[in-house]
Structure 1
């Protein structure tokens, strides 16, 4: 018999946890810029097309794998087919890499939350971020000069992450999601409402929503939409697969997936409104066009927004809300990323939750603290993030879809499992999206990104850092995934005597 597996107390807790994972810092600082750069209001068409043809179908695939085979990615793929386990470990490895640097972004947001009270960044947020806060250097090699102002909050992030995970799926992750996700939404709604009343907000919203229909003729715009959907929904690298494995045996999977997907997209559009209303204010007081103040990512969050906060009435409160939202969004995503690795180690080596959490978390935290709170940490983080997202996640998603759809030909049985439990039924279109459209788009994305990185490097970052933390890290993940898949399972009954969740009547 299979040992007791942790479970969510109900579907609503699972949905909140899944939303907490999907809604991360990328929703706030990536989507608005991507939409603006790729047709503004017209981008909503390829965005929705990508959501319906790739994002939601892949979310359903993750749910089907996790729920039917009741395991972390390596166990679920091993139960799917004995030679597919490597795919699961590849996903786990990507999550391990992401956890190493994602914790640092949360640590930065915590520091800036407190900086907001008295606008510590002063008159030059750009210089403050790079010099006074991060103490960045342009060294070509990896430096180990530690920055205490980053290291200390990073330790706090890891301690809190491990504490939540030790409490388990329901008492830890579920309880956190029930508190943090509604709080995150409330904080962000207040922030957006405040932004809408800033002078010049209308100009910013006009820049964000004004459609450039000609952009729809460019393939790069459609690829950008697919990329955004994959990166924001937490699909394809084990999170949703792991979370769905803790659902009850008769949960409505497709309805849950639709709630999560559309909640995530709604938050992204809300973020776009808030960000561009604020950028419109910045353009207004600076006497320039909106396109001259637009930025994304780290530059938007830690440079552009602090500069805006310093000029607006009630800037400290705006900063507290903004960075508070970043902390909450980042922390819930951080928990889900680390849980994938913990669950895999629990399953493979049949060890208790506490040693699994401490072992996984200890290793991740050690690597994180060794390389990232340093004077070259920003470059390392940037490279790790770009390669994990654009090479790692895209690569494993491509391999997984091809193997499941064309090598093992298991889409029909997975579809049957979803339909036996769910209120929203799937059909031929789901198999078409997962088996043909999604792999085609992923293949294009992976080939294009690989060629670009080989030819151009990465944004002027020294090649030793790109080769070590970019290509090197992703190759190491695959090598370790292969080795772990050949490591014997501690309890083979998990593989030999397992009965998949059976089709049944939904309750």
Structure 2
């Protein structure tokens, strides 16, 4: 049974979750985000349909869960956000923690803009304001997309909901871990589950829904021989679990000393995958209805993944169905909840790091981080060039930055610093589900191998083909420049001294023989 006592201060003056249930819901809130709804269904459909579930499950068991456990072990043992936790593990590793936090910082400033879009469309759904030309409305009347460039023209229809999002973020973060972040997830995640389950049930009653499900689940066994399908599976698992960019390290650091870490991780991982499967069923049942109304096959529809699915294809479906305005309002409300809980988790790591590094109070740190992120978010992503900038930054931060972070983390922890056995012992000492040496093999060999393949393939494509036909200078600034910014800032922040922090008295718990080897 989960603990229900109020939040308390840990021996090192660190706030904790009120209980295991609060931690699990917060971790699920971080993992279940926009990508679960708009990325997984399309990736599965394009990668073998029902057959894709095999490499997906393999990827979950061999990379997703093992690296999630690695994040948990580092955060829980060393009691800090990524830079402090890595520093306590090995002083030279602090820079990796800062690189992860800088990726979180970058992702947060554009992720908020997508939540603002969903908030706008929640309002638009009541009167189906997007009309018949949903694509024209999204990129034209709503976002007012301009040619590639750096625009300073603010789009008020984006800026206003974006302001609402950042005000909500500031309030939640300022309230702290238990009263703010945990409460949002305790309310939001059950609400999201109920709302999305209702959407799926409604979608399954629509004409053509079964055709959509047949398209989604019909297996293409030949796809299992395609390396790209396996890479897609590892990519999907990896990005949907919020691993290797500091989030879960920070979340685990707020867990109580005696906490069942591995069992919690299994619940989070399988809850995330279950939601993705539910999203796939709902999305393709709905797409089956759209294909039925347009008298076409599923594969003739456009926009089966990404923002186009949510803000172009789905509005077209909503306009076609009876009671579409209610369906649309619930769908976009679900996007807002899923996105907001993930955004809060991303920023929690950033705020915690600033607090620890510079010796600030939690509230000052939360307000400072929210204000800086909001300013950048408005400057870049509420303008007429916001969509292109967002898409480019996202591609490089996620598909290059986070993969690179995971590779370096696995290699350093297991092979360079030799902390793998220690972290395995830590998890076994506090958890009921014990890890064997197989976990070290997965974290130190299997996961890095697949991640290196993913990274090399992506880099070859980006270098040889560019990105989406955008000018080289534009990709240089918003793509490669994003990675350069993260690396440079990581070096600068690592070099800065820690304010009023003496870790000489810090002792990891429980004491393990491997610590000083």
TM-score by length of 2: 0.96
* Aligned pair partner of 2:206 in 198, 223, 231: 198
Match of 2:5 in 1: none
**Deviation digits for residues 186-217 of structure 1 (CA, Å, limit 9, x no counterpart):** 00000000000000000000000000000000
Worse-matched range after superposition: 446-455 or 323-332: 446-455
SS at match of 1:500: coil
Match of 2:162 in 1: 154
Worse-matched range after superposition: 197-206 or 474-483: 474-483
**Deviation digits for residues 214-268 of structure 1 (CA, Å, limit 9, x no counterpart):** 0000111001000000100001101111001001101000000000000000000
Matches within 5 A, 1:57-136: 57-136=66-145
Return the offset for 1:491. Answer: 2.4
Give the Cα separation in 2 of the matches to 1:9 and 1:501: 20
Contact 1:43-1:225 within 8 A present in 2 as well: yes
Give the Cα separation in 2 of the matches to 1:388 and 1:86: 17
Contact 1:47-1:225 within 8 A present in 2 as well: yes
Match of 1:177 in 2: 185
Give the Cα separation in 2 of the matches to 1:503 and 1:33: 47
Give the Cα separation in 2 of the matches to 1:451 and 1:363: 34
2:405 matches 1:408: no
Match of 2:4 in 1: none
**Deviation digits for residues 406-434 of structure 1 (CA, Å, limit 9, x no counterpart):** 10011000000000111111011100000
SS at match of 2:92: coil
**Deviation digits for residues 87-118 of structure 1 (CA, Å, limit 9, x no counterpart):** 00000000000001000000000000000001
Give the Cα separation in 1 of the matches to 2:211 and 2:352: 47
Match of 1:266 in 2: 274
2:38 matches 1:29: yes
* Aligned pair partner of 1:442 in 451, 471, 478: 451
Match of 1:363 in 2: 372
Give the Cα separation in 2 of the matches to 1:415 and 1:198: 49
Return the offset for 1:455. Answer: 1.1
Match of 2:217 in 1: 209
User: Which blocks of at least 5 consecutive residues in structure 1 are unaligned?
Assistant: none
Return the offset for 1:500. Answer: 0.8
SS at match of 2:259: coil
SS at match of 1:426: coil
Give the Cα separation in 2 of the matches to 1:472 and 1:302: 28
Contact 1:420-1:503 within 8 A present in 2 as well: no
Return the offset for 1:291. Answer: 0.8
Matches within 5 A, 1:311-390: 311-390=320-399
Structure 1 outlier segments of 4+, above 2 Å: 461-465
**Deviation digits for residues 389-408 of structure 1 (CA, Å, limit 9, x no counterpart):** 10110011111111001100
Give the Cα separation in 2 of the matches to 1:185 and 1:338: 23
2:464 matches 1:464: no
Cα RMSD of the aligned pairs, angstroms, is 1.1
Return the offset for 1:465. Answer: 2.4
Return the offset for 1:462. Answer: 2.8
Contact 1:67-1:501 within 8 A present in 2 as well: no
Return the offset for 1:2. Answer: 6.7
* Aligned pair partner of 1:278 in 281, 286, 290: 286
* Aligned pair partner of 1:48 in 52, 57, 63: 57
2:491 matches 1:479: no
Match of 1:165 in 2: 173
User: Which blocks of at least 5 consecutive residues in structure 2 are unaligned?
Assistant: 1-9, 513-517
* Aligned residues between the structures: 502
Contact 1:141-1:462 within 8 A present in 2 as well: no
Give the Cα separation in 2 of the matches to 1:362 and 1:92: 17
Return the offset for 1:149. Answer: 0.3
Return the offset for 1:503. Answer: 5.6
Distance 1:419 1:3, change over 3 A: closer
Matches within 5 A, 1:394-405: 394-405=403-414
Return the offset for 1:3. Answer: 4.5
Give the Cα separation in 2 of the matches to 1:464 and 1:322: 37
Match of 1:288 in 2: 296
Give the Cα separation in 2 of the matches to 1:460 and 1:298: 18
Worse-matched range after superposition: 448-457 or 35-44: 448-457
Give the Cα separation in 1 of the matches to 2:496 and 2:450: 33
